[in-house]
Structure 1
Amino acid sequence: MKQLSKQMLHTQTGMTIKRGPEKILQFGKGNFLRGFFNWLLEGLNRETDYAGSTVIYQPNPGGSTHDYLKAQDYLYTVCLQGMVDRAAHEEYTLITSVSRTLAYQEWNEVIKLARSPELEVIVSNTTEAGLTYQKQACPINGAIPSTFPAKLTSLLYERFKAFEGIGGGIDILPCELVQKNGDNLKEMVCQHAADWDYDKSFYHWLTKENDFCNTLVDRIVTGYPKEDAAAFFDAIGYEDRGLVIGEPYHLFVIEGQERIRHRLPFAETDFNVRWGNVKKHSDIKVRLLNAPHTIMTSLFFPAGYHLVRDVMESDLSSPVMEEVFHELAASLPYSNEEKHTFIEDVQARFCNPYNDHYLHAISMSGVSKFKTRILPAIREKSVVDISDLYALALAGLLQMFRPSKKNESVYFGKRMEEFYPLYESETILLELDRFWTDYQKHGNFKKLVEDVLSSHLIWEEDARWLGNLTEPVTSYLNESLKSNMVTIIKKRPHT
């Protein structure tokens, strides 16, 4: 079977790929953006006169070195599978709107694009761990800033100079699941500009000409189907190493100025794109979809589970997840009917028989996700009402992110006899490695838990305010390492 390429398509179908000007710069070529934003952009090109393409930049030095998209002339397929109106649904979309990809080392090409008058939008998904401020030296002589906000500051400054401070504003769409992601990113960029002594005219241009939109994104994208790839290739008629699997459901909420509505004319399509205040959508989605994912992974990945669907359908884990949804819903101020309806939809999506959503994939940036998704839920509860589910989940998280070995720059955890890579910021992994190494010397679980909770590098605060969680986390962590998480869950009474 032939691999997807322009030539293969032309030979088999007569199709000729034509791409529009490079209007969008995308930070991150992970599964989610390719199965969500690039899919939406493909629809814009097909259903409207948008006629734009995307340049994808890999912002991390540890990202994929084999550019499978380049080998396929930047073509790939999105397959959506699930239930729509109670009927099985499957659709395939060929994505043709990616013009090129840039490796981490090709930062100079990013800077060139930043100066282009055709560039209008920057979109990102660097995970919660990527949307952080780290003070660093001003980049000179082509040096690559280490974080996404610093990179964005640097390229916007280059654009400011290219346009001599007149016009050229960019609409910025951060898709990281962080409350007020646009506002937070703008604050970080302004801080870097101040750190680097950029002149006041740049600050004026930055804040007046550019729009940092708050956004909310929602679609479960499971990525490349490693075990079933051959069957999918048979269905589409070619080999596609960039194939992405996702669910049909999608939601994109954008809170921005009028300009972005014209630049991305989603109103001319049937896509579920909404404009306006993000807060309510974000509160419900993050608390009742993303937070359950994070707790589920912390509890059941150490217990030996592999898929979200397995957790939802198991006699052992399903009642625990019902309790998780109940606890998280109680921390939201919205109507019970609204929350119940959303939970029912989420549970159906989690049980999607077509999507193999791996817990290990959800564990990426798991500590950062716990900070942004779970700690706010705990804050909503009085100390005496905090469920020990949170303590058990935190114990599972610490067990899951215990570095067992390091291969070059990659840390690995260990589950039974299986090693798995730990995906989290280097700062957090170094901190956890230090605490676990210290534990090996003193054998004191309580000190380990207190060290973790008091780490500003992990939580950006002293999280010992969690108070009465320290003792149960210590107890659960001790017990889980002596026996296993399954034993603890079986013994624990459900509410």
Structure 2
Amino acid sequence: MNRLSLTALPRLAARSGVVLPRYDVGELGVAIVHLGVGAFHRAHQALYTEDCLDGGAGGPDWGICAFTQRSDDVLQALGPQDGLYCVLERGAGAGPARVAGTLREVRSGPHDPLGPAGRIADPRVRLVTLTVTEKGYRRGPDGRLDLADPAVAADVAAMAARSAPAHRPRAGSGLRPRTTIGQLAAAMAERRRRDAGPLSVLPCDNLPANGRVLRGLLQDFCAALPDGDGLAGWIEEQVAFPSSVVDRIVPAATDADRAEAAMLLGVRDAGCVAAEPYRQWVVEDDFAAGRPPWEQAGAVLTADVAPYESAKLRLLNAAHSLLAYAGALAGHRTIAEAMADDELATAAAGLMEADASPTLDAPDGLDLPGYRAGVLRRFADPALGHTTVQVAADGSVKLPVRLLGTVRERLAAGAEPYWAAFAVAAWMVFVGRHTDARGRSLPLSDPRADELARAVADFGNAGQLVDRLLGVRSVFPADLAADQVFRALLVHHAARLLAPGTGVR
């Protein structure tokens, strides 16, 4: 079967049930560079921009150049398709399949000759967006850039050598940063050298105040350079770092998804994505060089994203993690299966209502009970097939921002964060036990997997497991680890979860 491509696009117009781009895809210029192209970006930020272009409001140059960050699988899927891909919606209220064309370039971060830094340095680029996951920011336990990280240290050393007086390389050559922060710093240095003009960098990962965090990490990188003050000053004057909150459930595409896309399109689509109908994007409206009119596609542009991000992280993301760890331990393959377990559904609801909601200042117009109910409905939809082990990945960097803030604030208020502690204990048992209730292996996909494995090696009981993981300072700050109420709750839940017939109460 032929592949989806610009050449095949006119033939798709005769097929029913598929929405095609209503703009001239081939004439779309690039003003956005995206780092970390994956299923989520294709089903979220790229579609908001697609909607602007379809509505005639986006202008002729808001196409996207998307870079892979590690694997080139997405490049191999989308490169032969001229960046085109199909989006399938799953579940109640699903809309028709659509083909998106806003990815005008798909490039390899590790292997592209120009690289992200060189492409971002193009004066025609006015916006950079990121979905590199929480671990991609390479923060240390204190939240600052981890300069001891070997990849970060290598990028700092390479950039310092490049800026030496005797070293004047050809523009866009030689420097190959490995980390996201290194790529951005190199891009800023080249834009400064070219006098390429202002830029906005918009992170779209689940970190509180992600724009401010990213600005700080770049400042840390510059401070590690021998002559970094000048670059830091240029960034401060020329670059905006708006924060954002993103929300859409986008499971990994399956062979069944690809088969459905082929049936609908009449051509093979190796890069299709499937997603729930719901989506949300809250963006701080602070840009240095313009932006697409995303509000016309349903995004919320606001001066303050903090209330939205707290609600999303402490309600939706925290409950998602609870269901992922406890559900995987109980032998449930998907989040929907975990929600069908009455005890786990009760735990997720309890976490949101009893523990997280009292810590929130809801943004205007957000009905917290309605939001919580909507989250549970979305999680329970079996059409999505979002696996528990997929959501469980990278727990050591997710838990501090999703759960530990709630734990800390409830303890400070004199309350026992019962369900939040259950979620943390489920992560601990997930790390320590390696198998579910049916004896099947549970993979530990985590940037600190080796450190965690050493911590839990040969633990004897729930108390030992809890104490060893509370001692991992990259996850638990010392004051929280020393709290006896928190520890007692963790030991209580961990003992239940380690016992035969994993339970919640």
> Which of 160, 175, 179 is the equivalent residue of 1:147?
179
Greater mean alpha carbon deviation, residues 327-336 or residues 19-28: 327-336
Letter of the aligned partner of 2:179 in structure 1? T
8 Å Cα contact 1:211/1:256 also seen in 2: no
- Supply the distance in 2 between the matched residues of 1:477 and 1:143 (Cα, whole angstroms): 48
Asked whether 1:455 is paired with 2:472, we answer yes
Residues 137-185 of structure 1 show CA distances to partners (whole Å, capped at 9, x for unaligned) of: 332464544432233222212221222xxx5111111011111100011
Match of residue 361, structure 1, among 390, 397, 415 = 390
The 1-side partners of 2:109 and 2:299 are apart by 33
In structure 2, how many angstroms separate the alpha carbons of the residues matched to 1:65 and 1:224? 12
- Contact persistence 2:248–2:275 (CA under 8 A): yes
Report the AA paired with residue 182 of structure 2.
A
User: What is the match of residue 341 of structure 2?
Assistant: 314
Q: Distance in 2 between matches of 1:110 and 1:9?
A: 28
Which residue does the alignment assign to 1:117? 123
Structure 2 SS opposite 1:222: coil
- TM-superposed CA distance for 1:470, in Å, is 2.2
Give yes or no for the alignment of 1:244 onto 2:263: no
What displacement does 1:228 show?
A: 4.7
The equivalent position to 2:441 in structure 1, one of 395, 415, 419, is 419
Mapped contact 1:455–1:463 kept (Cα < 8 A): no
The partner residue of 1:212 within 235, 241, 253 is: 241
Q: State the Cα distance separating 1:81 from its structure 2 match.
A: 3.5
Distance 1:193 1:175 in 2: 22
Q: What SS class does the counterpart of residue 193 from structure 1 fall into?
A: helix
RMSD: 2.8
Amino acid at match of 1:470: R
CA contact (8 A) 2:109 2:115 kept: no
Give 5+ residue unaligned stretches, structure 1: 405-412
- Is the 8 Å Cα contact of residues 334 and 386 (structure 2) preserved in structure 1? yes
In the alignment, structure 1 residue 46 sits paired with structure 2 residue 54: yes
2:50–2:101 contact (8 Å) kept in structure 1: yes
The two structures have a TM-score, normalised by structure 2, of 0.83
3-state SS, counterpart of residue 390 of structure 1: helix
Which residue of structure 1 lines up, in the alignment, with residue 142 of structure 2?
Answer: none
Instruction: State the shift of 1:211 in Å.
Output: 0.1
Q: How does 1:196-345 map to 2 (within 5 A)?
A: 196-257=225-286, 259=288, 262-267=290-295, 269-327=296-354, 328-334=356-362, 338-345=367-374
Q: Percent identity?
A: 21
What secondary structure is seen at the aligned counterpart in 1 of 2:206? coil
**Unaligned ranges ≥5, structure 2:** 15-19, 140-144, 148-152, 163-173
1:162 to 194, 211, 214: 194
CA distance in 2, matches of 1:246, 1:341: 22
Q: How many residues align?
A: 465
Structure-2 residue corresponding to 1:104: 109
One-letter amino acid matched to 1:151: Q
**In 2, distance between residues paired with 1:301 and 1:215?**
30
Native 8 Å contact 1:309 1:353 kept in 2: yes
Contact 1:82–1:90 at 8 Å: present in 2 too?
no
Is the 8 Å Cα contact of residues 408 and 480 (structure 2) preserved in structure 1? no
**DSSP-derived class of the 1:419 partner:** coil
Report what 1:436 is aligned to.
456
1:32 is aligned to 2:51: no
Distance, in Å, in 2 between the alignment partners of 1:396 and 1:149 is: 32
For the pair 1:134 / 2:146, whether they are aligned, the reply is yes
- CA spacing shift, 1:276–1:203, aligned 2, 3 Å: same
Q: Does the 8 A contact of 1:4 with 1:238 survive in 2? A: yes
Cα distance, 1:403 vs structure 2: 8.4
Change (3 A) 1:278 1:333: closer
Instruction: Report SS of the residue matched to 1:89.
Output: coil
Matched residue SS, 1:79: strand
